[in-house]
Chain A
Amino acid sequence: MYELKGIDKKFGGVHALKHVDFHVKRGEIVGLVGENGAGKSTLMKVIYGAYQPDSGQILMDGKPVRFANPRQAMDQGIGMVFQEQSLIPNLSVMENIFLGNEKQFTRAGLFDWAKMAEAARHQLAKVRLDVDPRAPTSGLSFAQRQLVELAKVLTLEERIEGDLVILLDEPTSVLSEDEVKLLFKLVRELTNRASFIFVSHRMDEVMELSDRIYVMKDGAVVDVVARGQSTVEAIQHTMVGRSIDNEYYRETRQKPFDPKTRLVELDRVSLPGRIKDVSLTLHAGEVLCLVGTEGSGREAIMRTVFGMLSPLSGSVRLKGEPVQRPTPRHAVERGVGYVPRERKVEGIVAGMTIYENMTLSQMGRYATAGVLGTGAERRLARDWIKRMSIKAPSENADCGNLSGGNQQKVVLSKWRSGGSDIMLLDHPTRGLDIGAKQDVYTMVRDMSDDGVGIILAADTLEEAIGLSHTIIVLKDGAVQKTFDCTPGRKPTMYDLLHAML
């Protein structure tokens, strides 16, 4: 019922979509996978009307259509569930749900708020979310926002007579295991009404949910796989164009850490809000993974170590020395490096070059009396671009124009080149494609070999299990359980889930 025929899209000299054919049948769930830069997001933007193709046809029920903007696509029943953070925080939940579609609730130009709240409750019920529709969105958790996002798209059910096509862009990246299950259940239920296009980097999820999977590479569709006709490895092979190491998490390279060198010690640290009496120790060469649901306090603990948050009580020691007045600057001086989750907001400075980004945390080293030696900076950047195999025209390239994986490599290089030996990695592989993920995993092992201690908040439980020496399970801001993860004695996902919930 929805079909793309021979779609081409170019940006300047870049051929982003090459003659793409794509179709979705009624009630079908179609997976869309590919590495970053393979053209997935461009294709999605064409589907929901944000981009107009240079050539080719968009057909709905066999009739050619053209969308000048997302609004027109929406009117034809095409809706998009964005990744986290696409709700407007200062509006209420119900306003977000009906944003751009509020006309039905106005009487003589004024809103009938009660009617809107009623309708919003109905939408929220569809996604089994029990929040006050009048509450401001800024107070919701990530997972709740994701469900509101879905509820918002599901308003198309009432608005549109015909079939719906709903795009899900990385919908599971901020969800807990349970929430993912709920989401999948919902999606399956809804197939009687809508078709779905499901985009994710988590291959297992795509395999589980999709009826068919489109595999993209370099702007073209390279394979279409029906359910059960292929394996994760095979698809990944097609996507990446190279074979994936069986040793995905480089487990063979996991060596015992040095229990004598204590890099970070938290002693009964409490923070305003949710963190209560958290104690932990990070040793040299150790990968310590914090596991927990959204809001369990993983990020807050990392930010405490980095000095961005000050504990109400308890003490923080970096390399044995107690921290008196925590600031990021102080932490950086002690060798702490922080790879934040919001890479584009906190990780890199878009608009600055690669070398400027790399030395941002360590300008003092490249300056005498405040005057920068840019020659040395550039040399450093060239060296690390090579070492990390960052794909960029030169060290003068604007970081904002790099792909996600390369941006992450710049962030990692920034800290590694500065000699940081306490690394805080908050979802370091979020949104990265497989190739880039593996590069990150390799780097984690390299760092461990160098005696770097790593505190990690992993994207998935598998990643946590695969990478860690130690796993600390957090629940509601408190340490629930600690697992030893020496190879061979690693806990199972079931063990972790059991502790989390």
Chain B
Amino acid sequence: MGVAAVALARLRAGSFVVYGAVFALSASALALAGAHLIESGGTVLRATLPLGIPWMGAHFRLDGLSAFFLVVVNLGTAAASWYGLGYGRHEPEPARVLPFFAAFPAGMSLVLLADDAFTFLLAWEFMSLVSWALVLAHHRDAANAHAGFVYLVMASFGTLALLLAFGVLAGVDGAYVFDQMRGRRPDEALAGLALILTLVGAGSKAGVVPLHVWLPLAHPAAPSHVSALMSGIMTKVALYGFVRIVFDLMGPPVWWWSVVVLTLGGASAALGVLYALMEHDLKRLLAYHTVENIGIILIGLGLALAFRANGTDWAAALALTAALLHVLNHSLFKTLLFFGVGAVLTATGERDMEQLGGLIHRMPRTAFTFLVGAAAISALPPLNGFASEWLTFQAVLVSPQLSSWTLRFLVPAVGALLALSAALAAACFVKAVGITFLGRPRSAAASAAREVDHFSVSAMVFLAALCVVAGLFPGIVVDALATATQVALGTRVPPQIALPWLALVPIDASRSSYNALLLFLFIAASMLLTAFAIHRLASHALRRAPAWDCGYPDASPATQYTAGSFAQPIRRVFGTLVFGARDEITMPPPGDQRPARFHLHMHDLVWETLYVPIVRAVGYVALHSNRLQFLTIRKYLSVVFALLIVLLVVVVVWQ
């Protein structure tokens, strides 16, 4: 919260100071949280202020779990504010961004520190509110207004769900402090209700299918560094809420909880990436990928629940570690990718891939960092995205330990969904990188693009480097996560740091091991070796010539493959099922002058089957309840009279 105070105090001094201050504060907060995470060895700091609900006060608590998420939040914030130092200059109305940008991380950190239901929800909703204001930074665009509306309604829906969950956990006598909640053990039915409510509440903020609809609307609407925060960081705060409530506050889990969580996770992972494949707006594409990755993390959490309910805590620790590792990794590369899109946006003013292309020549640094991010999010070894997915697969492969038959069959199926989503993600990012950065420019804006300022570039390079480092030394990160898993489960995965060559061995060496460092060295070595050998022993001559293109090249960039045509095969495989996609081609007969036309019809089935009916119903009832507004006084009196009679009859009956 200090972040907000300081940054707001200095607001008048302009964007540079604000971003600078936020950077400084978040960096120092990052240092502190990181130190606590690694050094403290599980000590817990508490504080209570005479605020909030009078007879209770506001409780704060810093333990391993919150420390880890603080690291995630402040890392992203530091990067985003550094990026903003450059990117923020292009902001038309900075006054609509700066104060909220400063307050946003403050809200998120507060959520992580809160130790009672009231403070937690207050910070939670504050976070939503501030990010809503950021979504509406460019408020003239009607689409943004729509996005803001959907976002805030969904957000307060989620908050109400969480509020209900806390109400269930707190019980009749209102035990709102988390320690009291840990003390109480609600019976199974109530706990189940609380779980569902928590899932709805946290899920609507994290973007779990089918509560994800606001996400692809709201995230792109905000300025890019804010989109990065919302998509890369805020969703994680939502997941923190889930972990804190379900693992820490609620009692021992029941096996069917994990069935719900796993199903939703699998659905989000698969559907999210499919949506992303059909999307040609870069920011929306990234937002949908957030849905996918949240699904992956949720699968990890579901597995952890399953194993915990099953009593095999070491496996639960493995699954939870995988989930948390992916939390960190996703925050890294998703932030990086949004920065890249922001850079493209500043350079070309375009978010639509069909208008881009060939940017790798104009903005090489951005292109390279974006490529790294894309490789990381597509789970390619030896980058960080793969490390966490590998761990998740390992957790999936422990499933024979489970005693419940439903889970035994569900878990491999979910694993299949996981594999499918990983492969599709790779396809999607081949599209994103290939169409945006490779090939030839598809518009004048794209061909006139120029590399962005140094702040932005350095921020992206920093994150890309982190992606590589976290990928090469997963063992160290896993060790750092131990304190977090200790809080949530009371156990941890075996320490990794001592292993030879910094390998990653979650269970034991004969079972599975992964050594990113060696792999990287081998690949690099063999690359250099072959390249060197060939250049030295054979030819190294190189001739530039026009593209051959099977004999009949065409100069016009319009003949390149577009994003739409690239996704067409996959659309034909999955789209008809998921989106009711139907492409309609009108081909005039030979000799006819009319051009051939191609129309693509797609439906967002979730939206159409779930949300539209609700909107319709509300509209209908609202319209027709208006009859009551325009009665005559006599009719109003009759209503009063009728009510009186009813009440009197009630009295008579009651007596």
- Chain A partners chain B: no
Residues on B facing A (Cβ under 8 Å)? none
